[in-house]
């Protein structure tokens, strides 16, 4: 979940890496560091705890010399957030420098072996074993590249690693399970955990596969080797259609509000699927004997909504499973099973593990993903793209609604109603525009003022509004740190209603279809002193605060979540928190 970037070229490496780290900070922001190689001064390192910009003001990354370098922004796994635990880490002989994303699962055994051979350790991290293990292999007479290959082969777990060696103008890298992508420029090359890190410099990329070993050398060549096959391999070159403007905030104070506002376009882009691929996926669903939606977090909530939509539109039952729990269903899978994996990044480790479990049973894999060339994209038999461009805020907003749009269109296609599904999504344009307008934001700001000091918020819904209640609670708690829980309206009286007291806020999602029953649930809360916030097309006398969203039937999950995305953002800002970088969270969960 850390952000890593490497550069080799003719320009100042530190400046390029520093700007890349700022764009990767959504992947981790506990600490950061840069190492650069200068032909006269050797390798210099600067690192500390805190945000990238704050560290730069303190240490001045931009004063570092050299045209080769690596940089890292950390999301802590092993060890506290300390300067000693920040990356890069160095070998005992001070010649090998490493940055790392992932977990070395067998680091304790490696560390014990190295200590037995006289190595000392100065951090609490698993990463520090890597440069020392490379040094250990070099002591056997191997060169840097071979020693790193042999060291990496000894590591268990998922990782992405960049390493430099004193006196050698090159960067070596390896990947297993954690994302890496190479950027190709003119007389310069890049390697990073995500494309936005170098997007302003190049849109030409090569995706790194699992068990690849890469060398970026001083002649601006990029060589790929397979650690499994023990030989050089070729990887295709791709061109990405993202723009640097999409990865910048523009006139917005935060990426979160920028990306909420972009949903006017992103829902429409998501609906513009390649028809041949869409119909192929629809046929695969119809032919399968058992269909599973597999996802995590917000993507899981999108899948849960989609299971209702498939039931209503396509008259089909879809199994929806949390990716982290999917292996428990492995014995049920057959070659006739279809697994549809949904992920923004395509690098979520639990989703990739679920796909691996499905592949062991020869099940067919479909992905719904935002990143072409990601691990999930490459692992799939077919892929439907979200087409949202980069989503920088840690929280999912525009990719969540894009997932809902793709899944709704897919349900209509399975039912033989493709044109109807596309027309329904096109109709949302003006509705989403109004829901993200300044007047709507001002209205919701008044609600945020009322809720900002609350300790608990509950959200309820029935039918299609139940997954929306779950997603609403997730958005509120992950960015404002107010405890929020979502429930089916019918479940409140089975225990949770005991927590309702005078003034407890409850957001009630309803539609024409569910209104009668959910209003009864809301009345039960109100009778116990609850403060009722209604999200519906029509006001109701029991609502203390009303958010109007036009009733658009099975697409209500898209329109009804947008005001709560705005509310979550405003709660975070009012409470003094950075909505783009919520504590303890990172954009892409690449560790278990």
Percentages helix, strand, coil for the chain, rounded to the nearest 5?
40, 20, 35
| Angstrom distance (rounded) from CA 205 to CA 237 | 6
Strand partners, 532: 506
CA 449 to chain centre: 30
DSSP characters over 180-193: -EEEE-SS-EEEES
Specify whether 2 is catalytic: yes
| Angstrom distance (rounded) from CA 416 to CA 410 | 10
Q: Which of 364, 307, 367 is nearest to 342 (CA)?
A: 367
Relative orientation angle of helices 556-574 and 438-451, to the nearest 10 degrees: 60
Q: From the CA atom positions of the chain, what is the Rg in Å?
A: 25
Please give the backbone phi and psi of residue 161, each rounded to the nearest 5 degrees, phi first.
Answer: -130, 135
Q: On the CB side of 542, how many CA atoms lie within 13 Å of its CA? A: 24
Catalytic residue among 477, 526, 581, 587: 587
Task: Give the torsion through C-alpha atoms of 54, 60, 65, 66, to 10 deg.
Answer: 0
H or E element: which one contains 176? strand 170-176
What lies within 8 Å, CB to CB, of 242 at 6+ separation is 195, 196, 199, 203, 389, 390
Q: Give all strands of the β-sheet with 338-343 in edge-to-edge order.
A: 319-322, 291-295, 338-343, 364-369, 382-385
Give 162: exposed, middle or buried? Use CB within 10 Å, 0-12, 13-18, 19+: buried
Catalytic residue among 2, 296, 303, 393: 2
Residues recognised as catalytic: 2, 587
């Amino acid at each position: 979940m850390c952000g890593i970037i490497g550069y080799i070229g003719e320009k100042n490496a530190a400046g390029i890496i520093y700007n890349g780290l700022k764009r990767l900070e959504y992947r981790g922001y506990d600490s950061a560091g840069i190492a650069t190689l200068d032909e006269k001064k050797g390798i210099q390192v600067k690192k500390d705890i805190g945000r990238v910009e704050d560290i730069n003001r303190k240490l001045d990354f931009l004063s570092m010399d050299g045209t080769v370098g690596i940089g890292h922004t950390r999301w802590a796994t092993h060890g506290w957030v300390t300067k000693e635990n920040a990356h890069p880490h160095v070998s005992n002989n001070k010649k090998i420098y490493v940055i790392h994303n992932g977990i070395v699962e067998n680091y304790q055994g490696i560390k014990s072996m190295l200590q037995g051979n006289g190595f000392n350790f100065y951090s609490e991290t698993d990463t520090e074993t890597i440069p020392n293990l490379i040094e250990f292999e070099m002591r056997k007479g191997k060169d840097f590249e071979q020693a790193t290959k042999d060291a990496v082969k000894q590591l268990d777990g998922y990782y992405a690693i960049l390493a430099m060696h004193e006196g050698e103008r090159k960067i070596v890298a390896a990947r297993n399970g954690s994302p890496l992508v190479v950027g190709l420029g003119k007389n310069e090359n890049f390697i990073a955990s995500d494309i936005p890190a170098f997007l302003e410099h190049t849109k030409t990329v090569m995706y790194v596969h699992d068990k690849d070993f890469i060398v970026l050398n001083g002649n601006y060549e990029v060589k790929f080797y397979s650690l499994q096959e023990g030989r050089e391999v070729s990887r295709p070159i791709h061109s990405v259609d993202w723009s640097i403007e999409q990865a910048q905030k523009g006139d917005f104070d935060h990426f979160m509000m920028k990306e909420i506002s972009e949903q006017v376009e992103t829902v429409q882009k998501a609906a513009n699927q390649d028809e041949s691929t869409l119909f192929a996926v629809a046929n695969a669903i119809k032919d399968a004997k058992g269909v599973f939606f597999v996802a995590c977090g917000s993507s899981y909530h999108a899948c849960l909504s989609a299971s209702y939509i498939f039931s209503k539109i396509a008259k089909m039952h879809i199994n929806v499973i949390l990716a982290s729990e999917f292996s428990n269903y492995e014995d049920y899978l057959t070659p006739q099973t279809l697994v549809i994996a949904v992920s923004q990044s395509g690098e979520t480790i639990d989703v990739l593990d679920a796909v691996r479990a499905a592949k062991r049973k020869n099940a067919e894999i479909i992905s719904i993903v935002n990143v072409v060339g990601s691990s999930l994209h490459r692992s799939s038999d077919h892929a439907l793209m979200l087409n949202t461009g980069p989503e920088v805020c840690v929280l999912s907003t525009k990719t969540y609604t894009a997932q809902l749009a793709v899944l709704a269109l897919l349900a209509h296609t399975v039912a033989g109603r493709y044109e109807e599904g596309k027309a329904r999504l096109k109709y949302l344009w003006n509705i989403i525009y109004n829901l993200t307008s300044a007047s709507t934001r001002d209205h919701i700001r008044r609600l945020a003022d009322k809720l900002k000091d609350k300790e608990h918020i509950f959200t309820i819904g029935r039918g299609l509004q139940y997954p929306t209640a779950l997603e609403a609670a997730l958005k509120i708690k992950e960015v404002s740190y107010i405890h929020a829980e979502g429930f089916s309206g019918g479940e409140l009286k089975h225990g949770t209603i005991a927590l309702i007291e005078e003034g407890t806020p409850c957001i009630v999602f309803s539609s024409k279809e569910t209104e009668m029953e959910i209003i009864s649930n809301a009345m039960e809360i109100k009778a116990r002193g609850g403060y009722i916030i209604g999200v519906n097309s029509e006001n109701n006398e029991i609502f203390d605060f009303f958010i109007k969203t036009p009733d658009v039937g099975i697409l209500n999950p898209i329109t009804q979540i947008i005001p709560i995305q705005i509310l979550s953002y405003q709660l975070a800002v009012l409470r003094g928190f950075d909505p783009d970088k919520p504590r303890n969270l990172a954009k892409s969960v690449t560790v278990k």
